[in-house]
Amino acid sequence: MKLILLGPPGAGKGTQAKRLEEAHNLIQLSTGDMLRAAVAAGTEVGVKAKTVMEAGELVSDEIVVAIISDRLDEDDIKAGFILDGFPRTVAQARALDGLLADKGMMLDAVVEMQVDDEPLVGRITGRYTCAGCGKGYHDTFEKPKKDGVCDKCGSTEFKRRADDNEETVRSRLAAYHAQTAPLLPYYESRGVLKSIDGMADIEDVTGQINEVLKGI
């Protein structure tokens, strides 16, 4: 299965991609995670991406398309993947069409997670992840079962993203509406767009995505 999760910052793309990975044996391909790894490693791409990400703007199409192109060449993605945060511009969507066609692959569905802007700010400013295994949490909506201890790996260290502050979230939302929302008609016209209610709770959203997957 080859899926795209499309939605604004905080829509729940990463949360649901992790759940789909485990339930359906798919690989999450998050350009945000790949870029953050490049920033942390101080690579040439990371140096270029750092200030752009901190401002909540989009990294250049050239950089992200090159990252995804390399990743799609690896063998592990052949069984199926979930694109999380890519494509984000019509140019990226066109580039992806070309990459998939070259590899003889086709998209099964583009799942749009519809969420109003206002709750997104609270979702993002309350978000944190386990420093050990990367599992995502939220101060209010997804707390570890035991306070301060990761459910999955037992680590007691957690981290927050540099771009998870209110000001940057507003820029990321503006970038979504201006540059990423045009992908909705792009995929609608190809007959692969499936929209779900991302305002529901996490478990319910997973159920809605599973319903979409049953239908394809």
Q: What is the DSSP letter of 196?
A: E
Q: How far is the CB of 76 from ligand AP5 (least distance, A)?
A: 20
CB 64 within 8 A of CB 86: yes
Nearest Cα to Cα of residue 18 among 122, 126, 130, 125: 130
Catalytic residue at 170?
no
**19 included as an active-site residue:** no
Here's the x/- map for ligand AP5, 8-27, by CB under 6 A: it reads as -xxxxxxx------------
Angle between helices 61-72 and 44-54 (to 10 degrees): 130
Inter-helix orientation angle 13-24/202-214, to 10°: 50
Residue 161: active-site member: yes
- Whether 36 is a known active-site residue: answer no
Instruction: Between 51 and 156, name the residue whose CB sits nearer to Zn ion.
Output: 156
Residue number, nearest CB to Mg ion: 14
Binding range to Mg ion, per CB under 5 A, among 6-14, 88-96, 141-149, 169-177: 6-14
Q: What are phi and psi of 199, to 5 degrees?
A: -80, -15
Q: Which is nearer to Zn ion, 119 or 132 (CB)?
A: 132
What is the DSSP track for 49-60? HHHHHHTT-PPP
Taking the complex as a whole, how short is the minimal distance between the CB of residue 154 and ligand AP5, in angstroms?
Answer: 19
Catalytic residue among 2, 48, 94, 161: 161
- How far is 49 from 54, CA to CA, in rounded Å? 9
**Rounded to an integer, what distance in angstroms lies between the CA atom of residue 79 and that of residue 1?**
7
Q: Which of 71, 127, 135, 194 is catalytic?
A: 127
For the segment 53-92, give every residue that binds Mg ion (CB under 5 A): none
Q: How far apart are the first and last CA of the chain?
A: 9
Cβ neighbors of 143 (< 8 A, separation 6 or more) are: 137
Q: Is 71 known to be catalytic?
A: no
Which bin fits 60, alpha (ψ -120 to 50), beta or left (φ > 0)? beta
Site string for Zn ion, 140-159 (x = CB under 5 A): ----------x-xx-x----
- Considering only residues 67 to 86 of the shown chain, the ones binding ligand AP5 according to CB under 6 A are 85-86
Among ligand AP5, Zn ion, Mg ion, none, what does residue 135 contact (CB within 5–8 Å per kind)? Zn ion
Which residues of this chain interact with Mg ion, rule CB under 5 A? 14
Which residues of this chain interact with ligand AP5, rule CB under 6 A? 7, 9-15, 31-32, 35, 52-53, 56-59, 64, 85-86, 88, 92, 123-124, 126-127, 136, 138, 141-142, 172, 201-202, 205
